[in-house]
Amino acid sequence: MPHFFFDLHNGLGLVSNEEGRELPDLETARREAIKGIRSIISAEVEKGELDLTGRLVVRDGDGAETLVIPFHESLTIVGRWTAPAA
Amino acid sequence: MRNPLRLKLEQYAGFEEREGRRLDELVAQRTQVFAPKQDILTEGEKVKEIHIVLSGLAARYKLLDEGERQIMAFLIPGDICDLEVFVLEEMDHGISAMTETVCAVVPAETIKGLLTEMSCLTQALWWSTMTDSAVLRERIIDHGRRDARERIAHLFYELLVRYRIIDEAKDNSIPFPLTQEELADSTGLTPVHVNRTLKQLREDRLIELKGRVLKVLDPQGLRRAARFNPNYLHLRKAEEGLRGEADRVKDLV
């Protein structure tokens, strides 16, 4: 199975992934990347913060970048409530 | 090799020399080696023998329909995989070797015989089973109330205490063959989140992870990060500061 590394780039800097994971294909790597982003965002939301400026970079076994997923692409963002004009 | 089952149970029970020897014989009769990722017991299997981990690391797990795995508990040397044998018909979960793992394989009848012969063993095994449920309760707290950092810190500190009990934590270093994916399966986090959390724990100089060894650099700091209360391990002797067996672990609890 091919090897993939998942590097996290966000407001706190870079968290590079040295261990990586074996996954069947790139599509699975993409799904896992999105799950990873959502888990990081969720934990931050629980602490009262939402920063969507980060990205997750998936590298292949040779270290070459194969996917770049911006945080905001892992979510459907609907907007926010505004009070109706009086 | 010293008998890890005896090292573990003597945290609770006092064994006479003769009883200790019986426990040593118990784990020395037949052993079986399991390769990494091999099942020691499979869900649905009918259990006729008891498996006691002597070396390596195993995990209780369940597989969900979509192939996702939840690891419920880690079994280190001295831990018993399947005391269920006395009461339940078949395994409701699997137990897998995380690295090469050696188990003592003991027929249920042999243990039954020993239980009538040594009443203190009955109590000690009961203590061990109760403590296992207490460890599981901590996993419930993990999922309900602890954030990623607390969960991982808690697991690491608990493993440190447990490896100290069996005298396998020299310089606060413990065997750590787990991948980040396996750590994710046991904490309910994603591997991406585990990777980030491990980086934070390393940067805070609480731990060091190198070559399948986890070294706890600052036990008290890790304990604070985990908000760890050791009461659920029921290490009565260590808590009371009794000399002897409890010395191995008393500075941690």
> Which value does ipTM take for this structure?
0.94
Condensed to tens digits (0 to 9), the pLDDT of residues B230-246 reads 999 998 888 777 777 77
Residues B17 and B131 grouped into a single domain? yes
* Structure token pair of residue A5: 């590394």
Q: What is the pLDDT of residue B239?
A: 77
Average pLDDT in the B199-216 region?
97
Q: Whole domain around residue B74: which residue ranges?
A: 1-141
A66 at B interface, C-beta within 8 A: no
Do B167 and B210 fall within a single domain?
yes
Measured CA to CA, the distance from residue B204 to residue B226 in angstroms comes to 13
Same structural domain, B219 and B104: no
Q: Which CATH number covers residue B207?
A: 1.10.10.10
What's the rounded Cα separation, in Å, for the pair B200 and B183? 15
My answer on whether B5 and B75 are in the same domain is: yes
Scanning every residue of chain A, which has its alpha carbon at the shortest distance from the alpha carbon of B200?
Answer: A15
| Mean pLDDT along residues B128-141 | 94
Question: Which of B141, B164, B194 finishes a domain?
Answer: B141
Q: Dihedral angle at the C-alpha atoms of B81, B37, B27, B72, nearest 10 degrees?
A: -20
Q: Looking at the partner chain, which of A33, A40, A46 has a beta carbon nearest the beta carbon of B193?
A: A40
pLDDT confidence of residue B210: 94
Q: Are residues B170 and B51 in the same domain?
A: no
Chain B residues close to A21, C-beta within 8 Å:
179-181, 191
| Cα–Cα distance measured from residue B117 to residue B125, given in angstroms and rounded to the nearest whole number | 14
Which segments in chain A show pLDDT lower than 50? none
Instruction: Please give the pLDDT value at position A36.
Output: 97
Q: Are residues B106 and B168 in the same domain?
A: no
Q: Which of B141, B162, B180 is the last residue of a domain?
A: B141
CA distance A16 to B230: 34
Q: How far apart are the first and last CA of chain A?
A: 61
**How many whole angstroms separate alpha carbon A72 and alpha carbon B78?**
48
The predicted pLDDT at position B250 comes to 86
Do B67 and B114 sit in the same domain of this protein? yes
Q: Which residues of B touch A36 (CB under 8 A)?
A: 190-193
Place of tokens 């009262």: A48
> Is the separation of the CB atoms in A50 and A10 below 8 Å?
no
Interface of B with A (CB under 8 A): 147-148, 179-181, 189-193, 195-196, 199
Contacts 24+ apart (CB under 8 A), B211-214: B212/B99, B212/B175, B212/B176, B212/B177, B213/B173, B213/B174, B213/B175, B213/B176, B214/B156, B214/B159, B214/B173, B214/B174, B214/B175, B214/B176
Residue among A15, A43, A56 minimizing CB distance to B147: A43
Residue B178 DSSP SS3: coil
Q: Tell me if A43 and B148 make a contact (CB, 8 A cut-off).
A: yes
Q: Which of B198, B143, B193 is nearest to B176 (CA)?
A: B198
The pLDDT value given to residue B86: 75
Query: What integer pLDDT is reported at residue B13 of this predicted model?
Result: 87
pLDDT of residue B247: 81
In terms of C-beta density within 10 A (0-12 exposed, 13-18 middle, 19 or more buried), how is residue B22 classed?
middle
Interchain contact A62–B (C-beta under 8 A)? no
Window from B105-109, B194-198, B213-217 with minimum mean pLDDT: B105-109
> Which of A15, A19, A39 is facing B190, going by the closest CB pair?
A39
Chain B closest-CA separation from residue A39 CA (Å): 7
Same domain membership, residue B227 and residue B114: no
CATH value at residue B21? 2.60.120.10
Residues B181 and B119 in one domain: no
Residues of B in contact with A8 (CB under 8 A): 192, 195-196
Of B124, B141, B158, the residue at which a domain comes to its end is: B141
Task: Give residue-wise pLDDT tens across range A10-32.
Answer: 887 899 999 999 999 999 999 99
What is the average per-residue pLDDT within B144-171? Answer: 96
Domain count, chain B: 2
